[in-house]
Amino acid sequence: MAPRFSWCSREYSGAVRVLWCLLAFCLRSYPQSGEPKIVVKVEDFRYPRIAALASIEGEFTYVVTGSERRLVSHQSNVSEQREKESVLEKPAAKNLDTWTLPHLDRGHYEVRYRFVLLREPACESPSRTFPAEKSVSRSGDDVIVDVLVKATRQCAQY
């Protein structure tokens, strides 16, 4: 009769058995069919300089389902709204195009971009932009992605 080798047989030394057990545990712990990874790329995304110079702030919310993206709400601090919003909206939409948002069986993605100008106590430095900040959370079947984009307000030059 041919020798029988099983993972638990005595033919394997103790160290080999420990390694096999660790490998089996790691493979079982690794999600085989888990959710695809959401990739939100905001590391290089900055406040549009022209918007910071014009003191334009705003908030834009997109709903993404499958391959469709809709702008569902927008607010801005300027009166000529649609003209000025495109200064913030177009860069946000372009940034959103670089993301990987896997298909959701149920629910949708809600993506909020908030463009905020910080007030500097002294007007000695020109406006500065900061790396965008992101947070990803769930609300029921929906995935909420918040992106905060900040810059300092440009001081008036006299």
Task: Tell me if residue 70 falls in helix, strand or coil.
Answer: strand
Asked whether residue 14 is assigned to any structural domain, the reply reads no
Contacts with 66 (C-beta within 8 Å, 6 or more apart), sequence order: 103
Q: Are strands 142-152 and 109-118 parallel, antiparallel or unpaired?
A: parallel
Q: In the structure encoding, which two tokens stand for residue 91, read together?
A: 């860069």
The answer to whether residue 83 is domain-embedded is yes
Q: Domains in the chain: how many in total?
A: 1
How does pLDDT run across 25-43, given as a tens digit for each residue?
Answer: 554 544 445 556 888 999 9
Examine the pLDDT at 84 and tell me if it is beyond 60.
no
Kindly state whether residue 65 falls inside one of the protein's structural domains. Answer: yes
CA angle in degrees (0–180, nearest 5) for 49-55-58: 90
Task: Write down the pTM of the prediction.
Answer: 0.70
Classify residue 76: in a domain, yes or no. yes
Residue 80, domain extent: 49-152
Cα separation of 93 and 47, whole Å?
Answer: 13
Residue 6 belongs to some domain of the structure: no
Whether 78 is in a domain gets the answer yes
Tell me the pLDDT band of 49, cut-offs 50, 70 and 90: confident
2 domain residue, yes or no: no
